[in-house]
Structure 1
């Protein structure tokens, strides 16, 4: 039996969540905790999230998100952080050999008439 979830944005700071007939008002920090807990649980569930994207499905993109790149202090590669307006800053450790490959792929797929971004924080 599927549980019905309903969400209603009450105002800029509050959302009403209804689960199985029970209502609760949440603030942004509550939603962040809920997202983190659900993501941790989902990571342990089957089937796993696909390793590769489905290239036949349309994707929703964020145009020019804020991002930051820094060297990993452990020397394993670089840390790439991308800001998602709903989930906050997502951080990824990219091993050195893959970060170089990523840089090549980005350069190869970037239109040449576009100026490069000004530094590592855009």
Structure 2
């Protein structure tokens, strides 16, 4: 997992943007994003709730519930499979990566 504003590294493997919105001030060609599965990102409602002062523990629980939706679960399984066969780098614009949806996803992908 890395911040999308960091330059790409040769060992990044598959670069997957896991934010619903495109990061501010970043040109798409400079990001070197291979996939952008928006269905894996928290809903706008959940994101707004969390950034409005919701606890990380409750956010994590609600987000994991959202990831159980059929399309999200399918994409999560694909991401896990990609990680089993090669390197996957999850990219986010979040400043606090340890308390972000990207951290939750990274843990779920790693198993």
TM-score range, shorter chain: under 0.3
Higher strand share: 1
TM-score under structure 2 normalisation? 0.26
TM-score under structure 1 normalisation? 0.24
Higher relative contact order, structure no. (Cα contacts within 8 Å, ≥ 6 residues apart): 2
Which protein has the larger Cα radius of gyration, Structure 1 or Structure 2?
Answer: 1
